Structure 1
C-alpha cells in the first residue's frame, strides 16, 4: 500500500513539474484604473471590458459588464465556474431555465452570486444601469443560451 502512495505522489510531482495537460495560463501583472478599461459593445446591447486574462483560454479571467436600464439577459449557462460581484446599481438575478421574475432576487451594489458550471441563470437591470464584475478561473469559457420552453 505504501508503494501505491509513493508512485501516486511521484506521478503527481512529475506532472506538476513537466507542465501537465490542462495547465492554466499564468496570471500576468496588471494595474488598471477605470479610465483605462476598454469597453466593447456586446451583440445584445450591453458593454464589456476584459480586465485580466482571456476567457477563451484556460486560467483566470476578469470581465466587467455594463447593462443599460431594463436590460434582460435570458436564461443561459457557462461551461466554467464564476463568481460575480455587483459593482454599481441593482441587478435582479435568478437561477433556472426560464426567465421568471418571481424567482429573482434584487442584488444591490456590493452583492455577489455564484455561477456553478452549467448552472442556468438569468439577470435583469430593471431599475437602472448596472455594472458587474465576473471572475472566472476555469476557462475556456463560453455562453450557451437556453431557448424558450
Structure 2
C-alpha cells in the first residue's frame, strides 16, 4: 500500500498539480513531514492564492477554480507582507507550521494583526477583506473552501499579478 501511495503521489506531483487525491474514494493521509515535502503545483497565480511570488500553493484535493470542495496548502516565505484582499468563497484555515500574523480589514494595519502559531485556526469569510504577514520564519497554512475561489485586492495596485 505504501508503495502504491508513494507512486501515486509522485505521479501526481510530476503531473504538476500536487493533488493528493491518491485513492478513487478520495482518501488521503499526510503527516506534517509529508506535507512539508510536497512540491508546489498551483504556482503563484493559482486560484485561491494571493498571487505573491513568496506564496506557493499546493493543491491537496479538489480544484479551487471549479465548483466544489478543495483543500490547498500555502507555503509563505519569511518576511512576507500580504495586502488587504478577499476571496469569493467561505474558507477555514489551520496554521500547520510557523507563526502567521493575520488580520481583518480594508487595509493592512499591523495593530489589527493577531499572532497565530502552529495549531491555530481562523476563517476567511466570503467577500470580507483580510491581510497577513510572516515574521522571520516560513509559514505553512492549510485552507479548505468551496470553490470557485479567486482573489480580489482592495487596491488593484497591490495585486502582484498586475505588476
What range describes the TM-score normalised by the shorter chain of this pair? Answer: 0.7 to 0.9
Q: Distance in 1 between matches of 2:62 and 2:38?
A: 13
- Structure 2: runs of 5+ lacking an equivalent: 1-23, 45-50, 158-163
- Structure 1: runs of 5+ lacking an equivalent: 1-26
Counterparts of residues 1-149 of structure 1 (less than 5 Å): 29-31=26-28, 33=30, 34=34, 37-40=38-41, 41-42=43-44, 43-45=51-53, 46-137=55-146, 139-147=147-155
Change (3 A) 1:82 1:28: farther
Deviation at 1:28, TM superposition (A): 5.1
* Normalised TM-score (structure 1): 0.75
* 3-state SS of paired residue (1:63): strand
Deviation at 1:73, TM superposition (A): 1.2
Question: Which one has a bigger Cα radius of gyration?
Answer: 1
Greater share of strand residues, 1 or 2? Answer: 1
